[in-house]
Amino acid sequence: MVEARQDGDDCLLEVRDLTKIFGEFRANDGIDLKINSSEVHALLGENGAGKSTLVKMLFGSLEPSGGQIYWKGDPVEIRSPGQARALGIGMVFQHFSLFEALTVAENIALSMDNDVPIEKLADQAEKLSREYGLPLDPNAHVADLSVGERQRIEIVRTLLQNPELIILDEPTSVLTPQEADKLFETLEKIRSEGRSVLYISHRLEEVKRLCDRATVLRHGKVTGACDPGQETAASLARMMVGSEVKAVTQHAGSAGDEVLLQTNGLSAPARTPFAVALKNINLSVNRGEIIGIAGVAGNGQSELFEMLSGEFLAHDANAIAIGGKPVGKLDISGRRLLGAAFVPEERHGHAAVSQMSLSDNMILARHRSDAKVFLEGGPLKIINRGAVKTAAQRIVEDMDVRKSGEDPQASSLSGGNLQKYIVGRELDRQPSVMIVNQPTWGVDAGAASRIRQALIDLAENGSAVVIISQDLDEIFEVATKIAVINEGTLTEAEPAADMTLERIGLLMGGVHGEDHGSEASHAH
C-alpha cells in the first residue's frame, strides 16, 4: 500500500478498504482499487457482485459505510454527484438517467452544474457530438430515441463536463455488436486524450480486447487484479464466478414436424406513445425447437410477448395458433389451458407480485390451469393453501431455490433465485409451448446456466420453446434457430449454425438483405 502511494504520480483514483453495508448485507466488503491516468480499467463481476454499489459510491450517490477514497493522492469525501463532477468524475449509467418527457438539450442541461443557457449548451453538445462521431439532435425528445441514441446522450453529456475519469456501467448490454464497436472507438479516443475510463462489464471478450487492467469482484470482495490481455476468458471467468459454472449441454436436435406455435402475419398497433407497433410477424416453432429472438431492447420484444401470451388480444383469431388451434382472441388463461406457459421479462410486478409469498405467486400463474388441485368449493373458488404450498415446495426443490423462511415474500429472494422459481413454476406444468422473455436478465451465472439447461431439456422432451433475449451469447448457447426483431418486424428464423454474430448485429441494426450481410462479413 505504501508503495502504491509513492508511484501515485499517475494514480488518478484510489480506493482503500471501501465498505458498504445495507442492513446486515455487505454489498461491498473492503474493496481496494487503483486507476491510473489514461487507462481503461475494467471492473468485472457477475450480477450481484457489488459493481454498481462500488461505482455509486465513487459517484457520490451512495454513502460509504467505511474506507477511504483518494483522488490524485488526496483523501476525499464524495457526498453528491455534483461533488463527483466537480472533482472530474463523470458517469454513464447502465439503465440511463434520462428524462423521457424532455428534449436532448434539456437532459444535457440537467447534468451540468453551471448555468449556461440551454441554447448555448445545445450548440456545445452538437459540436462535441460531431467531434466524437456521436451524432445527436439537441431538440429531439428522448422518448422518441432508440437505446443506442440514448446512450450517446449520456456519453456526450458526460464528456461536456470535461471529466478526467469516466465510469461506464455495463454500456454494451443494450447495443448491437456494431454499435459496441463504435463505442470502443470512442473510448480509445477518450483514452488517447489522457482521460481514464472505469469500464464495468461481465463480458469477458470485450474486456480482454479493450481494457489495460482489470479488477474482479465476487460477493462484494476483490478476488483478483490482473492484466486482462494476459488472461484467458476461462481464467477471468473463474475469478468472477469462483467455481466452474456447469456448461450447458445440448444434444443433437431432434426437431419434430409438428408445429406447436405459429403466428400468421401478426400485427398490432402501438398501445401507448412509448410502445412499438408489431408488423406482420410470422413465426413458426416446431416440437423440439428452441427459437431465439435477438434484438436491441425496445424493438417490440415486450409487445410481441404480450401478444403471444394473450395479455393483450390480437385483432384476428387466426393471427396466433397454439397446437394448431387459433388463439388470437383467447386470453392468457385460455392459452395456458392449451398447454402454453409464459415467463415475462420483469420479475417484480409482472411475473410475480413482490409483496406476496412464493405460494401466493404460485396461484398467480396457475389458478386456472391447476384449478382442480388448487381450488375447491365450486363457484366459491376457495383456495386450498395446503395444495398450493406443496406445489411451491416442489418447485423450490426442483430448481434449487435458495430462500429464508418457509414461505417468504418474493421480494426477499435474490434475482437469480426468484427467476429460478418463476421458470420452475411454469416448467412444473410440463408445457408444450414455452415463451420466455429475457430468461436470465440480471441473474448470476449459476442460476443462468441452470435455467438455460432446463429450457433445453424441455425442448428435448418435445416442447416448442421461444426465447426472447438481448444476450447474444445466451441465444447462441441454447437456440436451434435464430430470428431478429427490429422496430416491430421479425426476420425469418434461420438455423443457429448458419448465423454469425456480424449478421445478427446487422439485422439488429435494421439492415436487411444479403448484400449488406456479405459485405460486412467480407470486411471482417
Partner 1 sequence: MDLTQAVILTIVTAATPLLLAAIGELVVERSGVLNLGVEGMIIMGAAVAFAVAKLSGNPYLGALCGALTGAAFSLLFGFLTLTLVTNQVATGLSLTILGLGLSGMIGESFVGQAGVPLNEIAIPVLSTIPFIGPLLFNQDIIFYISILLIFGVSWFLFRTRAGLRLRAIGDNHHSAHALGTPVIRTRYLAVMFGGACAGLAGAQLCLVYTPQWVENMSAGRGWIALALVVFGSWRPLRVLAGAYLFGAVTIGQLHAQALGVAIPSQFLSALPYLATIVVLVLISRNRRLTLMNTPACLGQGFVPDR
Partner 2 sequence: MRIELERRRQQSPLFSIFSPFLALLLTVLAGVIIFWLLGKNPFSALYSFFVEPLTEVWSLHELTIKAAPLIIIAVGLSVCFRSNNWNIGAEGQFIMGAVAGSILPVLLPSMQGYIVLPLMMLMGMLGGAAYAAIPALLKTRFNTNEILSSLMLVYVAQLFLDWLVRGAWRNPEGFNFPETREFHDYAILPEIVPSSGPTNYGFVFAIIVTLLTWFMMRHMLKGFEVSVLGQSTRAGRFAGFSNSKMVFFAFLFSGALAGLAGISEVSGAIERLQPVISPGYGFTAIIVAFLGRLNPLGIFAAGLVLALTYLGGEAAQISIGLPDKIADVFQGLLLFFVLGCDTLINYRVKLVFDRTVKEGGVS
Number of C-beta neighbours around residue 37 at 10 A: 16
Closest to 160 in 3D by CA, of 97, 105, 96: 105
Q: How far is the CB of 305 from partner 2 (least distance, A)?
A: 10
Residue 186 DSSP SS3: helix
What DSSP letter does each residue of 419-488 carry, written as one string? HHHHHHHHHTT--SEEEEESTTTT--HHHHHHHHHHHHHHHHTT-EEEEEES-HHHHHHH-SEEEEEETT
Residue 495's binding partner among partner 2, partner 1, none (Cβ under 5 to 8 angstroms by kind) is none
Site for partner 2, residues 5 to 64, rule: CB under 8 A: 22-23, 63
Whether 484 and 490 have beta carbons less than 8 Å apart is answered as: yes
Q: How far is the CB of 32 from partner 2 (least distance, A)?
A: 22
- Determine how many CB atoms are found less than 10 A away from the CB of residue 270: 13
Question: Which listed option, partner 2, partner 1, none, makes contact with residue 60 (CB within 5 to 8 Å by class)?
Answer: partner 1
Contacts of residue 130, Cβ cutoff 8 Å, sequence gap at least 6: none
- Candidates 74, 115, 514, 515: give the one binding partner 1 (CB under 8 A): 115
How far apart CA 186 and CA 180 sit, in angstroms, is 10
Residues 2-61 that bind partner 1 (CB under 8 A): 56, 60-61
Question: Does position 355 bind partner 2 by CB under 8 A?
Answer: yes
Rounded to an integer, what distance in angstroms lies between the CA atom of residue 486 and that of residue 476? 18
User: Would you give the binding string for partner 1 spanning residues 253-282, x where CB under 8 A is met?
Assistant: -------------------xxx--------
Nearer Cβ to partner 2, position 255 or 364?
364
Q: Does 93 bind partner 1 (CB under 8 A)?
A: yes
* Look-up of cell digits 429475457: 438
Closer residue to partner 1, CB minimum distance, 91 or 290: 91
Per rule CB under 8 A, count of chain residues that contact partner 1: 26
Which of residues 85 and 450 has its CB atom nearest to partner 1 in the complex?
85
Alpha-carbon distance of 257 to 324, in angstroms, equals 13
Among 68, 73, 110, 144, binds partner 1 (CB under 8 A): 110
User: Does residue 222 contact residue 18 with C-beta atoms inside 8 Å?
Assistant: no
Calculate helix-pair angle for 385-398, 415-427, nearest 10 degrees: 110
Type of residue found at 253: G
Strand partners, 467: 292, 436
349 part of the interface to partner 2, by CB under 8 A: yes
Residue 273 binds which entry of partner 2, partner 1, none, CB below 5-8 Å type-dependent: partner 1
Q: At what angle do helices 514-523 and 501-508 cross, to 10 degrees?
A: 130
Is 352 among the residues that bind partner 2 (CB under 8 A)?
yes
Q: From 52, 49, 94, 173, select the one nearest 473 (Cα to Cα).
A: 173
520 binds partner 2 (CB under 8 A): no
- Nearer to partner 2 by C-beta: 22 or 274? 22
> Of 103-111, 253-261, 278-286, 390-398, which segment contacts partner 1 by CB under 8 A?
103-111
Candidate segments 27-35, 54-62, 360-368, 469-477, binder of partner 2 by CB under 8 A = 360-368
Half-sphere exposure of 47 (CA within 13 A, CB side): 15
Nearer to partner 2, 382 or 501 (CB): 382
Maximum CA extent, the chain: 78
Binders of partner 2 among 283-342, rule CB under 8 A? Answer: 309, 311, 331-333, 336, 342
- Does residue 67 belong to the site contacting partner 1 (CB under 8 A)? no
Q: Does 420 engage in binding with partner 1 (CB under 8 A)? A: no
Backbone angles phi, psi at 201, to 5 degrees: -160, 165
**Count of residues touching partner 2 (by CB under 8 A):** 36
Could you list the residues that contact partner 1 (CB under 8 A)? 56, 60-63, 80-82, 84-85, 93, 96-102, 106, 109-111, 115, 272-274
Could you list the residues that contact partner 2 (CB under 8 A)? 22-23, 63, 309, 311, 331-333, 336, 342, 344, 346, 349-356, 360, 363-365, 367-368, 375, 380-383, 405, 408-409, 411-412
